[in-house]
Chains A and B, each alone.
Chain A
């Protein structure tokens, strides 16, 4: 099955996955999302587009990414573990898959300017990279809090020629960066594409972002069959907005015996209220253009998410995940900051791979799931990104600068 082949899991023509998704945006943006949907419908069946996308994934992003067994980490999980190495992609995370796809769509639409939001900075860096490659102007909105905890990525984006605008409103994190990007888009939509970085937002974003990331699951399925001779018992991924998770899930969605497990940021713990576990404890609502689970108070005001990981610090989630949760095809739970940081240190020490803190949530999820599967069990964990960008956080968390040891 090809990456762009329509599936029985596609949304309806107006972007609904069951009761979720759709378009809750100002009328001023409808023409733009209609244009994007029409362009994507043409592109996904245009061999020229598909081949150019595949060529960039291979020759620029470095795909296929490896599937690496992690035996020493697995001793701690009590079950066999393989890692899908999205951290080895150019720019250091899965984000590049979606970015290359949307940047090519931008060129097809004849638009010259790209805007993006970013949390951890990985999506911003990937977008700035694709824009440098394809000759597009690039503006990245980033919450002021995130520009501080991900300073290295701010520098990378600027080096790549992007303008980085710190967002000072609201919680000054990812959700506010998206608000600001939407305001820019509604003002400049004639010549600007909003290159949304996760599988959320109004239709067609959840569909096309998912499709651009389906390559992760398609590769992983082939690789695990080759290396382990069977399908895994579960596929585990972290969930911020849900793009890396939906990408790997789709490779296995029709394999009924493969559990699809999403791991959310539990922050200081679900009881503390300081977390970003949208699917685990959120309620239905509309945020950033789609119906989905959201974190909100009883008045429908969106509440702030909290996570040590900037890329998961988001009170919403892509609508397809809400659907997969409701129909019981995927399951979601949260791990705390502390559990994620423990997994971060463990993988570094046991396997020589420093994961992103986002991805460390998936690893912590694997450590929780493993014992119930036992030594004959088999897990594929999506290692969505590498941890270089997180060194400042790690230095502070573990006191590494003062001779501390993780």
Chain B
């Protein structure tokens, strides 16, 4: 199954897809495997497996702290592929979300090869813009992986069009100007941005940054193809697997309670 199928399935059910994020290795390597499986069993259509990084400039305090904890417990990049494989083996769908430097260090082609071999479907690259992505374009083609680049409220029309052309699977729209972290309300910039994106592309659009409740998920599902939830899952994982399952279930209900976009 590819990312296109994930979104096609959700669309066929007249709803948005639910996408949950958790760093591999948080709270531990085996703990992250358990939680990611629970997220899928409780309603996530896709999980983003994060690669903990020493200098996460796009992340707020919650994900920073989780990455720091994973790294100080000895997390290694090879553990990432192990976590992805455990999701795939359980029948789940996974992409990786990572800062660029660990991929560079591993070797872009080798990283793509090992991610594909583990059953991963693609990669989200928050600090890699298509302008600098020649190696990743080639490696993702070679190993059949999807590429999710990001667009932001500050992106020009020209850049939105260019970024959409470079992406496959889905495009990530950051709802607000800012870093990751749960927020109380859905920013008004989000629907505007998605509307602008739609003028340039028919590729599915996922909206993330700040989503934490079923109600917010429902609101976003009203205008986007995917609802992305990160920090709230990290906080839930700190409480335990029950909290992870409850959050996923609440969000899954949310994405089903609004008519799907388009």
Contact = CB atoms under 8 A, between A and B. Distances in A.
Interface stretch (B50-58, B212-220, B226-234): B50-58
Contacts of A285: 101, 104-105
Contacts of A32: 154
A28 interface: yes
A302 B102 CA distance: 9
Interface residues of A, number: 39
A139 interface: no
A240 B77 CA distance: 29
B105 A186 contact: no
A111 to B, nearest CB: 14
Contact of B131 (A23, A188, A283, A299): A23
Contacts of B54: 170, 301-303
Contact of B179 (A187, A190, A283): A187
B178 interface: yes
A204 to B, nearest CB: 14
Interface in A17-33: 22-32
B174 interface: yes
A102 B27 CA distance: 43
Contacts of A23: 129, 131-132
B105 A26 contact: no
Contacts of B221: none
Residue among B101, B156, B174 with the most chain A CB within 10 A?
Answer: B101
B32 interface: no
Interface string A1-44: 00000000000001000000011111111111000000000000
A372 interface: no
B142 interface: no
Interface stretch (A147-155, A175-183, A216-224): A175-183
Given A26-B152, A27-B151, A183-B60, A299 B105 contact: yes
Interface in A166-224: 169-170, 175-176, 179, 182-183, 186-190
Contact of A28 (B101, B104, B152): B152
B144 interface: no
A298 B151 CA distance: 31
B177 A179 contact: no
B105 A298 contact: yes
Given A26-B58, A183-B60, A189 B154 contact: yes
A227 B178 CA distance: 53
A12 B64 CA distance: 34
Contacts of A14: 131
Contacts of A31: 152, 154-156, 159
Interface in A266-304: 283-289, 294, 296, 298-303
Interface residues of B, number: 39
A179 B55 contact: yes
A182 B163 CA distance: 22
Contact of A30 (B57, B71, B103, B159): B159
A307 B57 CA distance: 23
A335 to B, nearest CB: 26
A322 to B, nearest CB: 14
B76 A299 contact: yes
Contact of B55 (A28, A29, A302): A302
B12 to A, nearest CB: 30
A316 to B, nearest CB: 10
B174 to A, nearest CB: 6
A194 to B, nearest CB: 12
A278 to B, nearest CB: 14
Contacts of B131: 14, 22-23
A296 B71 CA distance: 14
A300 B77 contact: yes
Contact of A300 (B58, B102, B152, B153): B102
B57 A170 contact: no
Contacts of B64: 169
A296 B154 CA distance: 32
A26 B102 contact: no
A187 to B, nearest CB: 4
Interface in B148-183: 149-156, 159, 163, 174, 177-179
A406 to B, nearest CB: 36
Interface in B82-104: 100-104
Residue among B54, B76, B152 with the most chain A CB within 10 A?
Answer: B54
A294 B102 CA distance: 12
Given A26-B58, A170-B54, A299 B102 contact: yes
Interface string A61-96: 000000000000000000000000000000000000
Interface string B95-138: 00000111111100000000000000000001111011000000
Interface string B16-44: 00000000000000000000000000000
A299 B179 contact: no
Contacts of B53: 300-301
A289 B127 CA distance: 8
A294 B155 contact: no
A284 B105 CA distance: 8
Contacts of A302: 54-55, 101
11 contacts: A25-B127, A27-B129, A29-B154, A31-B159, A182-B57, A285-B101, A285-B104, A289-B127, A299-B102, A300-B77, A302-B55
Interface of A: 14, 22-32, 169-170, 175-176, 179, 182-183, 186-190, 283-289, 294, 296, 298-303
Given A24-B128, A299-B106, 6 more contacts: A23-B129, A190-B177, A285-B105, A294-B101, A300-B53, A300-B102
